[in-house]
Structure 1
């Protein structure tokens, strides 16, 4: 089973323009992510997928592999799908470019989902983490997921799901973490399918997979890495690196 990692990397970002080129202890954020992904030793190939010549030059100058994205895309899945069309791989894992501290254990768990799927019935695998506190559960920036008893996704929403009508039941709430492991066929089918109604209203791309009958296996994890979405997050990442090096 050939497994490839792809790191989508746009230079523009509404909340923190140019964040992937920000300096993180002497290396850019995107180069840190690339090296961290390589160092897991889990992948046959690791590619950065970008529409930016600045990011391309940063990665290739350090011996990395880059696929230039030639189309405008609505979602990360679309960008990855374009890059994956001519790549020889069965499983493609989307590693977020703005999460430089790649969680090796999480990636191992995602890969193991497909290793155990002898009948090849699973189209995607993705992690989820328990949400605690009413404020987090009600925060629309946290995409929530509910699953069946075998941890297959039933639905994703920015609203709190499930609705706690019976408050005597202590039901867990889960946040979806935006790392995806795809079968290549499912990824290409996504690219060739128009945006679906529920995906459009919630603005959650993985809903398209559910609306078109794909099976998403959710994997529970207990730790989430630092995502750099703001200058404040960058400072947190620097503090984390300082603590790790001491």
Structure 2
């Protein structure tokens, strides 16, 4: 089973302009993310796929592998699908470009889903962790996921799901982490299928997979990533590096 990691990397960002090119201890955020993915040792290959000459040149100048997008894309999945369409691979892992402190364990757990899936029931695998603070649960920036008894995603939402009509029912709330591993065919199906109403409403691309009947196996983790979405996040990341 051939497994690769692909890091979709846009130069523009609404909340923090050019965040992937910010300096983090002598290296850019995107270079640190690329190296961290490579250093997990989990992948046959690692690529950055980008719409930016600046990011492309940054990766290749530092000995990395980068691919320029040909088309404009609305989502990271679309960008990745275009890049891998003609590659001979089985599993494609989407690594977020703004997470330079990649933890190997949840990635390994996600890949183990496919290694154990002898019946090929799983189209995608992704990660979630429990949240208990009610402000976090209600925050629409935190995407929540509910799963069935076998761990397959039933729905993702920015809203509180399930609705806590009975707070004593013992429901656990899970935040979705943006780590995805795809079977290549599921990723290419996504690329070719049009957006439907649920995805358009919630602005969550994972809903397109569910709307078309794809099965997403969720893996629970205790490891929370350090994403860089704001200048404040960058300062926190520098402190983690001891800068």
Q: Same fold (TM over 0.5)?
A: yes
TM-score (norm 2): 0.99
Q: What is the Cα deviation at residue 70 of structure 1?
A: 1.3
**CA-to-partner distance for each residue in 1:140-183, whole Å, 9 max, x for gaps?**
00000000011100000000000111222121100000110000
Structure 2 equivalent of residue 85 of structure 1? 85
The root-mean-square deviation of aligned C-alpha atoms, in Å, is 0.8
Residue 63 of structure 1: SS of its match in structure 2? Answer: coil
Structure 1 equivalent of residue 108 of structure 2? 108
The answer for unaligned runs of 5 or more in structure 2 is none
**CA-to-partner distance for each residue in 1:30-55, whole Å, 9 max, x for gaps?**
00000000001110010000010000
Structure 1 equivalent of residue 14 of structure 2? 14
Cα distance in 1 between the residues matched to 2:209 and 2:171: 25
Structure 1 equivalent of residue 28 of structure 2? 28
Give the ranges of 4+ consecutive aligned residues of structure 1 lying more than 3 Å apart after TM superposition: none
Residue 191 of structure 1: SS of its match in structure 2? Answer: helix
Q: What is the Cα deviation at residue 206 of structure 1?
A: 0.2
Q: Is residue 2:201 matched to residue 1:201? A: yes
Residue 109 of structure 2: SS of its match in structure 1? Answer: helix
TM-score (norm 1): 0.97
User: What is the number of equivalent residue pairs in this alignment?
Assistant: 243
Structure 2 equivalent of residue 242 of structure 1? 242
Cα distance in 1 between the residues matched to 2:144 and 2:92: 23
The answer for unaligned runs of 5 or more in structure 1 is none
> Within 5 Å, which residues of 2 pair with 1:140-219?
140-219=140-219
Residue 188 of structure 1: SS of its match in structure 2? Answer: helix
**CA-to-partner distance for each residue in 1:208-245, whole Å, 9 max, x for gaps?**
000000000000001211100011000000001118xx
Residue 109 of structure 1: SS of its match in structure 2? Answer: helix
